[in-house]
Amino acid sequence: MVHFFDRFRGASVRSLAERLPRSVAGQVFVLQVALVVLLVLGAVLALLLQSRSDSDREARNRSIAVAESFAHSPGLENVLETHPDPSSVLQPLTETARERAGVDFIVVMNTNGIRYTHPQPERIGGRFVGTIEPSLAGRVHTESVDGPLGEEVQAIVPVRGSDGKIIGLVSAGLEVRNVTGVVNRQLPVILAIAAAGLAVTTAGTALVARRLRRQTHGLGPAEMTRVYEHHDAVLHAVREGVVIVGGDGRLLLANDEAERLLRLPPDAEGRNVRDLPGLDPGMAELLCSGRVATDEVVPAADRLLAVNQRHTDRHGGPAGTVATIRDTTELRSLTGRAEGARRRLNLLYDAGVGIGTSLDVVRTAEELAEVTVHRFADFVTVDLADPVLRGEEPTGTTADMRRTAVAGIRDDHPLYPRGKMIGFVPSTPQARGFGSGRAELVPDLSKAPGWQAQDPDRAARIVQYGIHSLIAVPLKARGVVLGVANFWRSEKPEPFEEEDLALAEELVARAAVCIDNARRYTREHAMAVTLQRSLLPRALPEQSALEVAHRYLPAQSGVGGDWFDVIPLPGSRVALVVGDVVGHGLHAAATMGRLRTAVHNFSTLDLPPDELLGRLDDLVGRIDQDEDEDDTGAAGMTGATCLYAVYDPVSRRCSMARAGHPLPALVHPGGNVEFPDLPAGPPLGLGGIPFETRELELTEGSQIVFYTDGLIEDRARDIDVGIELLRKALGRPAATPEDLCSLVLDELLPAHPKDDVALLVARTRALGGDRVADWDVPFHPGAVGGIRSAAVRKLTEWGLDDLSFAAELILSELITNAIRYGSAPVRVRLLYDRGLTCEVADNNSTSPHLRYAATTDEGGRGLFLVAQLAERWGTRYTAQGKVIWAELPLPGAGTEPLDGSGTLPFDVFNAGLI
């Protein structure tokens, strides 16, 4: 049992010790709290004792004073001696006096102790509780008793008669609880003061704890001891010297490694660094200088020591410096080789990133020279075979090359300039490398007769200039040598070495692949550009309805499928077309050519824009289907867009329809720009959704602007921003459509656009009423003569008498056919523009056919006659029926329908038509 008790007591002590604060600030705080609590308890005890004594004394004095005052009050003697019922008189008086005097009771009694008054009336007549004998003897007596009201402090005073005899007694007193209430009222004040003291103590302890944590970094005594032990162990165990020098130059600390490296004596600490024997003066000067050093190498005895030195007062510490020292003697050579390898790797990485950023042969060669100059060679030249610059492979065996790129540390070098065609002689390193495909190293150019044989005078100037070493590496890619890269050294006195040769071969191998890729792209780009230009209109056809200007800009990455066209239509009308095939390269250009040819073919049918796009959509769908089934895997046309418009200068109306193409812009003569809301049809090839045509009436002088999406779209901006920029550009004044084209391209396109752009600007003209004549034809054969005569008169008015005979024959045939085979109403119109156009319209949609009539046939030769007399003829359909038209060239503008004698051509008579 005793053993168990000892274990329990030991555990309790350990538990309590573990709960006690371990930090100095915590222990100080506990001590301060204990002192405050002891002081408060002592103050309360002293207050209680003092209050008890003072209260008892005050109660006795007050009781005596009240009792004596009432005992000597006038009339008391008379009441006690003569009144038969003293209580009836004295009870009210005592109660009034008690309340005014602030005591708990005043009792008047006779000499036997029988009460005449009492705060509790039921106790009147009872015996007084207390000692009355001293008062009967004539003394004032005070005492503490347990009376009817509880524990009381009372005074008993004798009442004397006129003869000095004691005739009664008066007692006054207070309850003890009323006396001690004062202490209870003062105790909260004491406790509040104690709490304030504890708060002040806590705040003070917190400030002390904060300062101690800042100075000890939050570590307690045990932790500080462990830190010191670890610090001391690490300080002397590391393989790096540590030296701390004070602001006055005294050595404050040196670990074992520092003593070994600096050869310090055992009593070095505390002495001035400059006075230490055996310490190298340079090292002593650095340690005493107080300056910051980073990996500064200082020779000391037979070692190379790397020193890092910093100030110790950066964070409020004492003035001085701390230095770390390590021996770099053995690592010096390894570091040099590693640094060289690192520079080579960085150069190879930068070459991989910086060479081949564009598919341009010349630019790629320049990038090779720019990346390697300064970092590998002082001068770099790149010579390429001339066919490579055109995108072709070198075919000859001679080392004739054109200097394509030159870069160096200076511009006054005597090397061949850029652009010069150089025919290297067989003895030169360039010719040998070009023929064999192997790199050539020339350590000393002054002792290389084969190199000097190329141009002795220039070779002498090169050597005199200071260029002394050369590496010539052939640019070989996919088994073909494209040229030679030359690396020249002048500033560094050492010649190129075998390690440099390996690095040069690696650099050139990467550049050769990039140059070959650029060469292949150049060839494909040239082929695509040639195809593109052969498929686009070389010159716009002559017409008088529109003043047209156009631009086509291929993309930086190659030609694409953007195209445009201007197609004259019968009746002085003109069709405008703009299209875009998604993609770039040969396939996009070929697809564009197929679409342009299809539009030309469909336009000869004189179809409305929506019908033409519908047929074009069907064609693209069939081509896509055929190419999907083709084993060659050729891509289809899906992704093509088109905008087709027809402008009539007589009515000044323009009908347009689009298949997934951007909206055209309309610039009014006043400068206002709008984008007409055309129904958005799907791109060509999707099928199933019809196209819609919208017709606009244009004021003469209005400009219609067609464009492809490459003009307004850009990765750096939203398409709405591009449209708004186009609106602002079109709103600027421009004298001609050519000026407007230039202005728009300058405002919207960067120097090298990412996508190809087609732009077409057409300013409208009107064919005035003085160039148009039309008549309504009565629906009977006899009306033909009158219309023919009116037409002849109009031709005479226009000065076209030479065309009257042919026009009469054409009108007679066309009007007769309309009356015989068509339906009313029949209308005739003559248009005088670049030629004379005769049009006959009726409400029948049956198409006439040209045929050869037999010798015995009486009819069937009318349209053949029209075809022989007219330059061209045809039929177009309208919403009401059809229009048959025939065009006659103006005299002097081409082959005349009449010969010089005014008769019909010979072949007409031979045909047996007349």
Q: Is the distance from CB of 510 to CB of 354 less than 8 angstroms?
A: no
Instruction: Please compute the mean of the pLDDT values over residues 641-661 and round it to a whole number.
Output: 94
The predicted pLDDT at position 15 comes to: 47
The predicted pLDDT at position 575 comes to: 95
Q: Lowest mean pLDDT: which of 98-112, 295-309, 411-425, 593-607?
A: 295-309
Instruction: Please compute the mean of the pLDDT values over residues 548-571 and round it to a whole number.
Output: 83
Average pLDDT, the chain: 81
Q: Are β-strands 680-681 and 653-659 bridged in parallel, bridged antiparallel, or unpaired? A: parallel
Q: Lowest mean pLDDT: which of 18-27, 37-46, 263-272, 370-379?
A: 18-27
The pLDDT confidence band at residue 666, using thresholds 50, 70 and 90, is very high
The predicted pLDDT at position 288 comes to: 85
Q: Lowest mean pLDDT: which of 263-267, 445-449, 468-472?
A: 263-267
The predicted pLDDT at position 12 comes to: 45
The predicted pLDDT at position 906 comes to: 38
Q: Lowest mean pLDDT: which of 176-180, 591-595, 703-707?
A: 176-180
The whole-angstrom separation of Cα 324 and Cα 235 is 11
Residue 646 β-bridge partners: 575, 655
Task: Write the pLDDT tens digit of every residue in 670-719.
Answer: 889 999 989 888 998 887 788 999 999 999 999 999 999 888 888 777 88
Q: If you ran DSSP here, which 8-state letter would residue 174 be given?
A: E
The whole-angstrom separation of Cα 332 and Cα 162 is 131
The predicted pLDDT at position 665 comes to: 94
Instruction: Please compute the mean of the pLDDT values over residues 359-373 and round it to a whole number.
Output: 90
45 versus 631: the higher-pLDDT residue is 45
Q: Lowest mean pLDDT: which of 99-108, 228-237, 833-842, 889-898?
A: 889-898
The pLDDT confidence band at residue 728, using thresholds 50, 70 and 90, is very high
Task: Write the pLDDT tens digit of every residue in 216-256.
Answer: 666 667 777 776 776 677 776 777 888 888 888 888 888 88
Share of the chain above pLDDT 70, in %: 82
Q: Lowest mean pLDDT: which of 164-168, 410-414, 472-476, 623-627?
A: 623-627
The whole-angstrom separation of Cα 201 and Cα 42 is 18
Q: Could you give the angle at which helices 719-730 and 737-748 cross, rounded to 10 degrees?
A: 140
457 versus 215: the higher-pLDDT residue is 457
Element (H, E) at 596: helix 586-603
Plot region of 401 (φ>0 → left; ψ -120 to 50 → alpha; else → beta) = beta
The residue whose two tokens read 């005592």 is: 94
The predicted pLDDT at position 466 comes to: 92
The predicted pLDDT at position 558 comes to: 61
Q: Is the distance from CB of 877 to CB of 845 less than 8 angstroms?
A: yes
Share of the chain above pLDDT 90, in %: 24
Does residue 603 surpass a pLDDT of 80?
A: yes
Query: Could you tell me the CA-to-CA distances from 162 to 77, 116, 165, 718 in Å, in that order?
Result: 8, 21, 7, 127
The pLDDT confidence band at residue 408, using thresholds 50, 70 and 90, is very high
40 versus 723: the higher-pLDDT residue is 723
The pLDDT confidence band at residue 21, using thresholds 50, 70 and 90, is low
The pLDDT confidence band at residue 350, using thresholds 50, 70 and 90, is confident
CB atoms within 10 A of CB 45: 10
Angle at 277 between CA 274 and CA 278, to 5 degrees: 110
Does residue 574 surpass a pLDDT of 90?
A: yes
The predicted pLDDT at position 124 comes to: 86
The predicted pLDDT at position 217 comes to: 65
The predicted pLDDT at position 278 comes to: 77
The predicted pLDDT at position 116 comes to: 86
pTM value? 0.53
Does residue 179 surpass a pLDDT of 60?
A: no
The predicted pLDDT at position 10 comes to: 47
Does residue 610 surpass a pLDDT of 90?
A: yes
Instruction: Please compute the mean of the pLDDT values over residues 184-204 and round it to a whole number.
Output: 73
179 versus 553: the higher-pLDDT residue is 553
The predicted pLDDT at position 459 comes to: 93
Q: Lowest mean pLDDT: which of 291-305, 363-377, 487-501, 608-622?
A: 291-305
The predicted pLDDT at position 674 comes to: 94
Does residue 648 surpass a pLDDT of 90?
A: yes
Question: Of 523, 448, 447, 441, whose CA–CA distance to 482 is shortest?
Answer: 523
Q: Lowest mean pLDDT: which of 29-43, 61-75, 572-586?
A: 29-43
Does residue 4 surpass a pLDDT of 70?
A: no
Which residues are within 8 A (CB) of 41 and not within 5 positions of it... i.e. 6 or more apart?
Answer: none
Instruction: Please compute the mean of the pLDDT values over residues 531-541 and round it to a whole number.
Output: 71
